[in-house]
């Protein structure tokens, strides 16, 4: 077995991913290019090959240099789980190689976001994802949703005149960006910069879809879904706070679930949720989604500013300040700070 860095063809890479049931959109060459084009991160992709020069494993990483959150080797920025793929021997060799590379690059820590714990790594268990099993029988999926909240809200939205469309054009993406800024500022966190969404629909275009909830011809909410390898991931969602009474989130989520069922997808991933965000956890559980623990494995345990802990003083103070920032200033602030959060 040998380990090579950034030295396989796209065809070989995609062929390997298509044969691995654990592959995600985050393992794809398209996602690599998207992150490269959007942020000043250094890609460190390691590939395992056997004696026949056949690809048998891949470990995607990016090196993040940040004075705020530390210099890190991460698998993978802006994903809720990723990590090495391949056989036990291949992933073990890839992990060992990545750890050696981390030391040579003088990164303070190596972080692997995974569905399992890695021995001898410090583990952060503060996040979960929530996954709904899909079926070609859409009614079966519908009947599994909470009747008094989810199904009621979907029907209420429809009867109020909200309709959902797939709108991947640049103007709709810009409208979604503006809604996302409103949503993120209202909850007191930095928002994705415009270039993030522009590049997402440029470099990952085959796998991403924008569902827009419209009311009287205006986009009042939207969700970006990532569709790959039988799975749909609810990547990003936002809504006009003045129209939340029309339940637009429920409208576009249900429409995207219906489409996923018709298109033969097997699961719908509601995305990462912090353990202390009780309201969001309950919302996702009402969709009959099952909680799956996420393990953020670090070696050594990171010693950096904790800016994502919702109970920390830094987070709470940051919330208050961000909510009061004028929108033009907020956009500039987000553009500067966002890359540090990868």
Is it true that the peptide bond before 76 is cis, omega within 30 degrees of 0? Answer: yes
CATH of segment(s) 2-114: 3.40.630.30
Q: What is the mean pLDDT of residues 300-316?
A: 62
Residue 164 has a pLDDT of 98
Q: How far out from the chain centre does Cα 2 lie?
A: 31
What's the mean per-residue pLDDT of the chain?
A: 93
First to last CA, the chain: 31
Evaluate the omega torsion of the peptide bond into residue 300 and state whether it is cis, within 30 degrees of 0. Answer: yes
Confidence band for 341, pLDDT divided at 50, 70 and 90 = confident
**pLDDT exceeds cutoff 90 at 69:** no
Segments of the chain assigned to CATH 3.40.630.30: 2-114, 129-293+307-341
Q: Residues 176, 211: contact at Cβ < 8 Å?
A: no
Q: Is residue 213 within 8 Å of residue 220, measured between CB atoms? A: yes
Could you read off the pLDDT of 14-62 as tens digits, one per residue? 999 999 999 999 999 999 999 999 998 999 999 999 999 999 999 999 9
Q: What's the pTM value of the predicted model, to 2 decimals?
A: 0.94
pLDDT for position 340: 85
Per-residue model confidence (pLDDT) at position 242: 96
Give the pLDDT band of residue 342 (cuts 50, 70, 90): confident
Q: Report the chain's C-alpha Rg in angstroms.
A: 20
pLDDT at 31: 98
Q: Tell how strand 2-5 and strand 267-274 pair up.
A: unpaired
Q: Please tell us whether the domain made up of 129-293+307-341 is placed in CATH 3.40.50.300.
A: no
pLDDT beyond 80 at 311: no
How far, in Å, CA of 99 to CA of 254, rounded? 42
The mean pLDDT of 92-121, rounded to a whole number, is: 92
Q: Is the pLDDT of residue 306 over 70?
A: no
Q: Give the pLDDT confidence score for residue 19 in this predicted structure.
A: 95
Over residues 212-263, the pLDDT tens digits come to 999 999 999 999 999 999 999 999 999 999 999 999 999 999 999 999 999 9
Percent of the residues in the chain that have a pLDDT greater than 90, as a whole number: 85
pLDDT surpassing 90 at residue 68: no
Asked if pLDDT for residue 310 goes beyond 60, the answer is: no
pLDDT for residue 175: 97
Supply the pLDDT for residue 312: 58
Q: Using one digit for the tens of pLDDT, what is the confidence trace for 197-212?
A: 999 999 999 999 999 9
Whether 6 and 42 have beta carbons less than 8 Å apart is answered as: no
């Amino acid at each position: 077995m040998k380990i090579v860095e950034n030295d396989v063809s796209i065809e070989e890479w995609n062929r390997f991913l298509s044969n691995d049931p654990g592959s995600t959109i985050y393992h794809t060459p398209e996602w690599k290019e998207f992150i490269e084009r959007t942020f000043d991160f250094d890609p460190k992709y390691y590939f395992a090959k056997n004696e026949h020069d056949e690809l048998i494993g891949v470990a995607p990483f990016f090196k993040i240099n940040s004075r705020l959150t530390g210099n890190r080797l991460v698998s993978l920025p802006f994903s809720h789980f990723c990590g090495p793929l391949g056989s036990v021997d291949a992933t073990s060799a890839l992990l060992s190689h990545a750890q050696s590379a981390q030391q040579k690059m003088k990164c303070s820590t190596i972080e692997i976001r995974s569905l399992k714990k890695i021995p001898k790594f410090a583990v952060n268990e503060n996040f979960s994802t929530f996954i709904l099993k899909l079926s070609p029988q859409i009614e079966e999926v519908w009947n599994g949703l909470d009747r008094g909240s989810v199904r009621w809200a979907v029907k209420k939205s429809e009867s109020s005149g909200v309709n959902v469309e797939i709108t991947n054009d640049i103007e709709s993406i810009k409208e979604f960006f503006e809604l996302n800024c409103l949503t993120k500022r209202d909850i007191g966190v930095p928002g994705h910069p415009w270039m993030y969404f522009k590049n997402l629909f440029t470099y990952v275009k085959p796998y991403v879809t924008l569902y827009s909830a419209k009311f009287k011809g205006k986009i009042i909410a939207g969700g970006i879904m990532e569709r790959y390898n039988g799975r749909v991931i609810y990547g990003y969602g936002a809504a006009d706070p003045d129209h939340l009474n029309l339940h637009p989130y429920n409208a576009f989520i249900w429409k995207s679930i219906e489409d996923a069922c018709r298109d033969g997808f097997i699961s719908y991933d509601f995305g990462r949720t912090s353990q202390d965000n009780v309201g969001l956890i309950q919302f996702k559980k009402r969709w009959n989604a099952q909680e799956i623990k996420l393990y953020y494995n670090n070696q050594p345990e990171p010693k950096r500013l904790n800016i994502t802990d919702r109970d920390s003083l830094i987070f709470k103070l940051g919330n208050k300040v961000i909510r009061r920032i004028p929108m033009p200033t907020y956009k500039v602030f987000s553009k500067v700070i966002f890359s540090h959060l990868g």
